[in-house]
Amino acid sequence: MSNLREHLPSLSGLVREVTSLPTSFVTLALGLGELSAQSPHGDGHTVLVLPGFTAPDITTLPLRRFLESLGYRTAGWELGVNLGIKPAGETQLEDAIRRLAADGPITIIGWSLGGVYAREAARRQPDLVRRVITLGTPIRNRDGAQWIINVFKVLNPTAAEDLTPEGTARHAKPLTVPMTAVYSLRDGIIDGRSCRVPDEDVSLDAQNVKVSATHLGMGFSLEVLAVLAEILAADSQAEAAVAS
Residue 86: how many CA atoms within 13 Å on its side-chain side?
8
Whole-angstrom CA distances from 235 to 24, 125, 185, 205 are 28, 19, 26, 11
The pLDDT, as a whole number, for residue 11 is 67
Neighbour-count burial for 55-88, b at 16+ CB within 10 Å, e otherwise: bbbebbebbbebbebbebebbbbebeebbbbeee
* R_g (Cα) of the chain, nearest Å: 17
The pLDDT, as a whole number, for residue 63 is 98
Per-residue pLDDT of the chain (244 residues; tens, 9 = 90+): 334 344 445 667 778 888 898 999 999 999 999 999 999 999 999 999 999 999 999 999 999 999 999 999 999 999 999 988 888 888 999 999 999 999 999 999 999 999 999 999 999 999 999 999 999 998 876 655 666 777 777 777 766 566 666 777 777 789 999 999 999 999 988 889 989 998 999 998 999 999 999 999 999 999 999 999 999 999 999 888 887 7
The pLDDT, as a whole number, for residue 143 is 58
The pLDDT, as a whole number, for residue 197 is 93
Beta-carbon contacts of 44 under 8 Å, excluding residues fewer than 6 positions away, are: 71, 72, 73
CA-CA distance, 91 to 87, in Å (whole number)? 6
- Into how many domains does the chain fold? 1
The pLDDT, as a whole number, for residue 163 is 61
Beta-carbon contacts of 145 under 8 Å, excluding residues fewer than 6 positions away, are: 138, 189, 190, 191, 194
CA-CA distance, 118 to 126, in Å (whole number)? 11
The pLDDT, as a whole number, for residue 221 is 97
CA-CA distance, 116 to 126, in Å (whole number)? 15
Separation of first and last alpha carbons in the chain = 63
Whole-angstrom CA distances from 100 to 96, 149, 167, 215 are 6, 31, 27, 28
Tell me, what CATH number does 100's domain have?
A: 3.40.50.1820
Could you tell me what percentage of the chain is helix, strand and coil, using 3-state DSSP and rounding each to the nearest 5?
Answer: 55, 15, 30
Domain range for residue 30? 2-243
How many residues belong to the chain? 244
The pLDDT, as a whole number, for residue 168 is 72
CA-CA distance, 31 to 70, in Å (whole number)? 15
Neighbour-count burial for 170-194, b at 16+ CB within 10 Å, e otherwise: ebbebbebbbbbbbbebbbbbbbeb
